[in-house]
């Protein structure tokens, strides 16, 4: 019960009963589900999202160790440079680019990229676990928010790619900056 006299209102005494279901009823606390360790990276669809995440991951790898991808640079650069020139990027072209980038990596490099991507996804999951997204409070599409933390350019990039399946996101904004930085690191 809420006592009105305790609010310091002069001349007002009495009590108000808060009934179940009232907006004044405290919501029960529901802890976020425990994070399950990820063993495999998420595969995104359409393939343009997968390519965006891969480019960001490759940049993160080169920032951790500038030399780790040097042997693969001659095979990586043409695929990445093509992205700076294409006016459009179809899902099939994005898928082909992801496969070409993956083929350019040797076993240890692929393992490094995979480990870096898992760390990135775990960091995003940790950020989201402390938000309303983890508790399912009114967000219709938690996947979009998760993806927005992973791709360069965030929600704007996710929305633009969803609006236009032929969009080449690497021509402007965050994706273009990320791609330029990656190409610079591969020199």
Query: For the chain, what is the HEC assignment?
Result: CEEHHHHCCCCCCCEECCCCCCCCCCCCCCCCCCCCCCCCCCCCCCHHHHHHHHHHHHHHHHHHCCCCCHHHHHHHHHHHHHHHHCCECCHHHHHHHHHHHHHHCCHHHHHHHHHHHHHHHHHHHHHHHCCHHHHCCCCCCHHHHHHHHHCCCHHHHHHHHHHCCCECHHHCHHHHHHHHHHHHHCC
User: pTM of whole model > 0.85?
Assistant: no
Q: pLDDT per position in the chain (187 positions), as tens?
A: 455 555 555 565 556 666 666 555 555 545 445 555 567 777 777 899 999 999 999 999 999 988 899 999 999 999 999 999 999 999 999 999 999 999 999 999 999 999 999 998 888 878 777 666 555 555 556 677 778 888 888 888 888 999 999 999 999 999 999 999 999 999 8
CB 174 within 8 A of CB 154: yes
């Amino acid at each position: 019960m809420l006592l009105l006299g305790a609010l310091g209102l002069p001349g007002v005494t009495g009590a108000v009963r808060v009934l179940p279901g009232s907006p004044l009823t405290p919501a029960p606390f529901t802890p976020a589900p425990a994070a399950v360790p990820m063993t495999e990276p998420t595969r995104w669809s359409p393939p343009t999202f997968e390519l965006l995440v891969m480019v960001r991951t490759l940049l993160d790898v080169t920032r951790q160790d500038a030399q780790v991808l040097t042997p693969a640079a001659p095979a990586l650069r043409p695929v990445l440079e093509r992205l700076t020139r294409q006016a459009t990027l179809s899902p099939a072209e994005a898928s082909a680019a992801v496969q070409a980038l993956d083929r350019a990596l040797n076993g240890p490099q692929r393992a490094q990229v995979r480990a870096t991507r898992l760390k990135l996804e775990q960091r995003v999951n940790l950020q989201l676990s402390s938000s309303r997204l983890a508790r399912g409070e009114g967000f219709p599409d938690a996947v979009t928010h998760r993806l927005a933390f992973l791709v360069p350019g965030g929600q704007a990039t996710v929305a633009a790619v969803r609006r236009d399946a032929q969009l080449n996101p690497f021509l402007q904004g965050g994706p273009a900056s990320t791609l330029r930085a990656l190409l610079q690191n591969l020199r």
